[in-house]
Amino acid sequence: MTRKRIVILGGGMIGSAMAADLKRQDRHDVTVAELRAEVRARLETRHGVATRAADLSRPAAIAELVKGYDFVLGALPSVYGYQTLEAVIGAGKDYCDISFMPENALELDARARAAGVTCVVDCGVAPGVSNAMAGYASTRLDPFQSLEIYVGGLPRERRWPYDYKAGFAPFDVIEEYTRPARIVAHGRVVVKEALSEPERMDFPGVGTLEAFNTDGLRSLVHTLKVPFMKEKTLRYPGHVQLMEAIRETGFFSKEPLQVGDVSVRPLDVLAKLLFPKWTFAEGEADLTVLRVVAGGLEDGRPACYTWDLLDRFDPATGLRSMSRTTAFPATIVAGLMLDGVFRRPGVHAPESLGREPGLLERLLRELAARGVSCHAQAPSRAEEPVAV
Amino acid sequence: MTRKRIVILGGGMIGSAMAADLKRQDRHDVTVAELRAEVRARLETRHGVATRAADLSRPAAIAELVKGYDFVLGALPSVYGYQTLEAVIGAGKDYCDISFMPENALELDARARAAGVTCVVDCGVAPGVSNAMAGYASTRLDPFQSLEIYVGGLPRERRWPYDYKAGFAPFDVIEEYTRPARIVAHGRVVVKEALSEPERMDFPGVGTLEAFNTDGLRSLVHTLKVPFMKEKTLRYPGHVQLMEAIRETGFFSKEPLQVGDVSVRPLDVLAKLLFPKWTFAEGEADLTVLRVVAGGLEDGRPACYTWDLLDRFDPATGLRSMSRTTAFPATIVAGLMLDGVFRRPGVHAPESLGREPGLLERLLRELAARGVSCHAQAPSRAEEPVAV
């Protein structure tokens, strides 16, 4: 097979993990584009990866940059996600992205089809692997009646009072705790308050966690016809109650507050005090938990598919679990795309892959080969068909 | 008996309650000194009390003011407590005060004795009634081995997330949550972190509360020789954990924090957001809980004195419980002093009264006559003398 030239946009936590994985596979040539010189230097010395300087906040610079490559992997902050997707489509390159952009990427589907490029977005763990599982379930269940996704990135050691550290930008965590959560009930989109409806759940190997509403269904609201769907975030018990109290006190507010003779946004004060406490130390262990439960009828009988994914910090590579579980689905899917296994012009979320025969199994097998193991419960089925 | 002229320094929540009580008794003439015109107007119209304007932040103004009166009651914020005590002693007037000054008032004892004036400070509920109980126990127990004081002012209705409103200045509450707590263990003063060692306690009529260390022993550290003494603050369960988390996050800090291009003290931001939520609404019901437990040997047998005080908002007068239970001990003790029942030049905390035969009983009886009832458990005693 011909070696291809891959460029990774962004050399942060996720981009580094992508580069390390592709370098280890050594099936293609890899370059990381990154503005920060010290980040480039670390990538070159620690992972032996080629880098080049580029200002990735400018779509024009991205369009110019990607010309010299066969495939593009996106690992930029969410704020740059949409404009980067547009630029890569405009440049006519296939693309796999994990940026978690706030916009609806599927709106660029027609443009990608017209350009003949295949793009897969939201290709991390959740969104990402969870979407592929949902897509798979949609090929087995008829009707597909309910989908529940539970996901969390956690520090291995619980430290009072937050029992939490952020595997990605802390401001995005607060954003997640603020934005109203869209779930689907009785076939309709229902808006719930973020942090609402906490429920305790036991996870083998982790213990009891608490799941609460966040706005994580994203593309699934549009691509699946399932009457009951929800996505919840997992944290150690107590975290959500504390964050609710912090929110209730007013610290999530972006409205300037007059304090003495200065004006300050409470959220900025919270961020300044809180985010240093939420930052993982170098080498500090984390873990990632994902549970996906899909229910419906299969051959007329009630059936339920359940996947549990539990991944931990890898001391050998120093890669945190959140980096591993976000980066590896993207590098694996990139491999499938480069091998021509998945090639369909347009903008796709990973449920499109999950619908293809054998692709979820292949994704999970390749994740397992990288130490990210997922336990799929044998589908529970009722003995007798039931009337729908 | 001759009518005397009493002046109350300060017409706030406590001063108003003192004035209303003395007016109702109608044994003496009462005047409230107060700078704020609207407060004076309310005192005159609502309680029919005479008032006069005075800047009570100036000791010289107080010295001049009190000349025309026979007795002085203090109801000023803690920050003015010590300088006011000095001014009243200098003017040669007897004085009863509830200001909860941070300084040690007993340092002015010699000056008061030289001037021939009797001053009782810390004369509210706790410090106050609790001190009188401790003084009483010190006349019964030999040795007096342990003293535990539990006190809290609470809203009747619990509201998430703080389950608390402040019966006095919210800044003083945070101060109480910040200042290291001095307790006595094995005869030595031991410093504990504020908010530490929470313990659940059940109170008849209130339910389960949580008690935690605060710096409330004050004069008792100096006036009693008891090897184990502690004072704890009572709140509804959960409050202290939330306040600890808030403190841990850094919001009690008085160090300026750079946030963007402004510098702000985190405590000031917290205060601005929190204190409106901690303010009682007009007519909102509160309650006051006090438990004092004194243990030791009496006639060679183990004995334990326990007092439980539970008081509630009085809808008839509109006086909150915290105002009632703080003001009435002072007006009652003022009455004892004016009647010559307690007269001993010097500066005293209320344990001095409690040591006098019959005075604690009289204080509790007069409190009960004002609707503040206290349940004294019959002292539990072992049947047999034990070796000390």
Q: How confident is the model at residue A380 (pLDDT cuts 50, 70, 90)?
A: confident
Indicate whether this model's pTM tops 0.90.
Answer: no
Q: Which of B250, B273, B277 sits opposite A266 (nearest CB)?
A: B273
In Å, how far is A245's CA from the nearest CA of chain B?
6
CA A45 to chain centre: 28
| Beta carbon pairs, A and B, within 8 Å | 67
Residue B145 corresponds to which tokens in the numbers above?
Answer: 């081995």
Q: Which of A210-214, A299-303, A315-319, B302-306 has the lowest mean pLDDT?
A: A315-319
The alpha carbon of residue B147 is apart from the nearest alpha carbon of chain A, in Å, by 32
Look up residue B329 and give its DSSP letter: H
- Residue B379 pLDDT: 73
> What confidence tens digit (pLDDT) does each residue in B215-227 have?
999 999 999 999 9
Residue A344, pLDDT above cutoff 90: yes
* CA–CA separation, A30 and B57 (whole Å): 74
Q: Which residues of B touch A162 (CB under 8 A)?
A: 245
Q: Quote the pLDDT of residue A388.
A: 44
B89 half-sphere exposure, CB direction, 13 A CA radius: 27
**pLDDT under 50 in chain B at which residues?**
388
Burial of A72 (0-12, 13-18, 19+ CB in 10 A): buried
Phi and psi at B149, nearest 5°, equal: -120, 125
Chain A residues within 8 angstroms (CB to CB) of chain B:
160-162, 241-242, 244-246, 248-251, 257-260, 262-264, 266, 268-270, 272-274, 277
Q: What are phi and psi of A101, to 5 degrees?
A: -65, 145
Count CA within 13 A, CB hemisphere, residue B356: 17
Who's near B184: CB < 8 A, 6+ residues apart? B190, B217, B221, B226, B227, B228, B229, B230
Chain B residues with CB under 8 Å of A268 CB are 259-260
pLDDT computed for residue A167 by the predictor: 79
Predicted pLDDT of residue A383: 60
Is the per-residue pLDDT at A156 higher than 70?
A: yes
CB B21 within 8 A of CB B85: no
Q: Compute the average pLDDT of residues A59-79.
A: 96
Nearest CA in chain B to A251: B273
How confident is the prediction for chain A on average, in pLDDT?
A: 95
pLDDT band at A382 (very low <50, low <70, confident <90, very high): low
Residue of chain A nearest B161, judged by CA positions? A245
Percent pLDDT > 70 in chain A is: 97
Q: In a 3-state reduction of DSSP, which class is residue B172? A: helix
Q: Do A161 and B251 touch (CB under 8 A)?
A: no
Determine the Cα–Cα distance for residues B93 and A333; give it in Å rounded to an integer.
88
Of B161, B248, B272, nearest to A257 by CB-CB distance is B272
- For residue A384, the model assigns a pLDDT of 59
Pick from A163, A164, A241, A259 the residue to mutate for testing the B interface (most B CBs within 10 Å). A259
User: In the 8-state DSSP scheme, what is residue A12?
Assistant: S
Mean pLDDT for A134-148 is 98
| Site from A160, A236, A264, A268 to mutate, B interface, most B CB atoms within 10 angstroms | A264
Residues of A with Cβ-Cβ distance to B249 under 8 angstroms: 161, 246, 270, 273-274, 277
Res B381: pLDDT: 66
Q: Are A95 and A28 in contact (CB under 8 A)?
A: no
Q: Do A273 and B245 touch (CB under 8 A)?
A: no
Integer Rg of chain A from CA: 21
Chain B, nearest residue to A244 by Cα = B161
Q: What is the pLDDT of residue B388?
A: 45
